[in-house]
Amino acid sequence: MGSIHIEAKVGDIAETILLPGDPLRAKHVADTFLEDAFCYNKVRGMLGFTGYYNGKRISIQGSGMGMGSTAIYVNELVSTYNVKNLVRVGTCGAIQTDLQVGQVILAMSASGDSGANTAHFNGMHYAATADFSLLQKAYEAGKRLGIDTLQGSIFSTDTFYDSNPHRWDIWEEHGILGVEMESQILFTLAKRLGAKALSVLTVSDNIRTGEAASSKDREQSFMDMMKIAFELA
């Protein structure tokens, strides 16, 4: 029997899963990288696949945009399907002027404005961090593959559009590398549920300089990110 939002049977999903926001990206990755892949979920169009990469069983599941959607899938993947390792693969906008488009970031921690975290921790601030063993493996995989990675802190927001022109100033001053919308809740829930989590991100644009990736650059950086993520299987 499946969970509310995932129709897979227990056992259909591997212990290690990659979590792109876009379900069509999940399909593209499964078609491109996996052998003997099958689709285990179509509920709400949030596609999920399990297959083999270099002989290792691995799954990939769309998580949707934002922390609310991500929280649903993380909870069900761990609680119902016994997933042990969750790796977000996605993009972020850089807020450090020296960061180049295409840079691969291994997120050590995620600050953020999650309403769920604010409520759960009674207004106090939980330090949401990645699992060190996954972080170390990803770093070593990058070196082995000749892919430059940058390790540091990111910010996860519930709000994509904002009218405050100085919104990111304080975060830039405190060394935050980039902004995305999922990692804070991923890291928090993984710790709470006894799983391991990491975010492997590529810089798609620089919010400060206005630089944005071309379609060719996006594809190359996407491939680099995925090669590292699949090594974690």
Q: Angle between the 183-193 and 67-79 helix axes, to the nearest 10 degrees? A: 20
Helix ranges, 121-176 (H): 132-145, 169-173
* Candidate list 22, 158, 205, 217, residue with the active-site label: 205
The dihedral built from the CA positions of residue 161, 164, 169 and 170, taken in this order, carries a sign that is negative
Residue 205 is among the residues annotated as catalytic for this protein: yes
Residue 174 burial (CB < 10 Å; 0-12/13-18/19+)? exposed
Contact 76, 186 (CB under 8 A): no
Q: DSSP secondary structure string, 80-121?
A: TT---EEEEEEEEEE-STTPPTT-EEEEEEEEE--HHHHHHT
Q: Are strands 178-180 and 85-94 parallel, antiparallel or unpaired?
A: antiparallel
Q: Which residue has the tokens 């601030």?
A: 125
DSSP SS3 for 23: helix
Active site (catalytic) residues: 205
